Amino acid sequence: MYLANPDRYATMPYRRAGRSGLKLPAVSLGLWHNFGTDRDLDTQRALVTHAFDHGVTHFDLADNYGPPPGAAETAFGRVLDGGLRAHRDEMVVSTKAGYLMWPGPYGEWGSRKHLLASLDRSLRRMGLEYVDVFYSHRPDPGTPLEETMGALATAVRQGKALYAGVSNYPPEQTREAARILRDLGTPLLLHQPRYSLLDRAPEEELFDTLDELGVGAIVYSPLAQGLLTDRYLDGIPPGSRAAGASPFLTSADVTPELVARLRALNDVAVKRGQTLAQLALAWVLRSTVTSVIVGASSTAQLDDSLAATRNLTFTEEELALVDAALEPAS
């Protein structure tokens, strides 16, 4: 039976999500990869409990995480049954709906029918009465935004979620979603965009919008599918995601120009006493971002990410060196 580390809150910094009363750990654990049926439960349990023992109180899921879809939530429920369920009130559990989950016209997107049915399925898989945050996983071009946000507000009113969030929404749609939810009495808590040193699109408008609205930002893919680690400093290693058949990262993405940028970033990291991954996470957390979502395939990999919180401060010179490293070769 699992016994939690009594010193689990000693080192993790916590940040308030927007203008809410909820605080999240600077580093959250995402269960997108490594929580499918192709991974053994003991490894999955070790990752989740190790994270909790080191102050990671937020676990980010979605109905389609696995593989196959639904497997991550099922695995998480089994991990909870191993003793972690006793600490439910110390945890923030989030899930999302909007991607394909079952056949037919109601199996995906943002209709009230799909979102509320999907949430019920998620709760059953995890063995929970409620999730802390329920997200619309992606905008639905065919459903009125009022219906999608109304479904999130209903989930909160029913007590099946405590907060509402959106993911992958552009700035203007985020602004309108926040207005609708506010009018329904359910403020928008979090927006979950992709953001990293190699994908800085949220800086153009989204982050300013979130600051104005008082909405927290919790970002995914801060390591750019693993590119911002030491694995690719010498090109594509065997067994890596880029060497396989991943639809999210291919060998064509790992160009000589990119490798040169990664090496330059790694030089900055070494001078800071960090790994490249730690630099990348610290750089994301330097701003008003509430939390970064990391994945891990081992406790050692998770520890490397958690160590980023030991140094989140950058000098102006270091920031300039990071920007210079990202500049295209002339």
User: Domains (ranges, CATH) in the chain?
Assistant: 14-226+287-297 (3.20.20.100)
Average pLDDT of the residues in 15-38: 96
pLDDT, the chain, mean = 95
Percent helix, percent strand, percent coil in the chain, to nearest 5? 45, 15, 40
pLDDT in tens, 232-267: 898 777 767 666 656 677 777 889 999 999 999 999
pLDDT score for 304: 97
Average pLDDT of the residues in 11-27: 98
Residue where the block lists tokens 């654990």: 29
Band of residue 34 on the pLDDT scale cut at 50, 70, 90 = confident
What whole-number percentage of the chain has pLDDT above 90? Answer: 90
Q: Which residues pair with 29 in a beta bridge?
A: 59, 294
Residue 58 contacts residue 31 (beta carbons within 8 Å): no
Average pLDDT of the residues in 152-177: 98
pLDDT score for 234: 87
Residue where the block lists tokens 């970064």: 292
Predicted confidence (pLDDT) at residue 330 exceeds the cutoff of 60: no
Average pLDDT of the residues in 86-103: 98
Average pLDDT of the residues in 78-99: 98
Predicted confidence (pLDDT) at residue 137 exceeds the cutoff of 70: yes
Question: 280 or 245: whose pLDDT is higher?
Answer: 280
Residue 192 contacts residue 220 (beta carbons within 8 Å): yes
CA distance 170 to 116: 23
pLDDT score for 250: 75
Band of residue 184 on the pLDDT scale cut at 50, 70, 90 = very high
Of 113, 108, 163, whose CA–CA distance to 135 is shortest? 163
Which of 241-245, 281-285, 324-328 shows the lowest per-residue confidence on average (mean pLDDT)? 241-245
pLDDT in tens, 114-130: 999 999 999 999 999 99
Predicted confidence (pLDDT) at residue 155 exceeds the cutoff of 80: yes
The tokens for 9 are 């809150």
Task: For 27, list phi and psi in degrees, rounded to 5.
Answer: -120, 125
The tokens for 172 are 């203007």
pLDDT score for 246: 66
Residue 226 contacts residue 240 (beta carbons within 8 Å): yes
pLDDT score for 329: 65
Q: Which SS3 state, helix, strand or coil, does residue 126 take?
A: helix
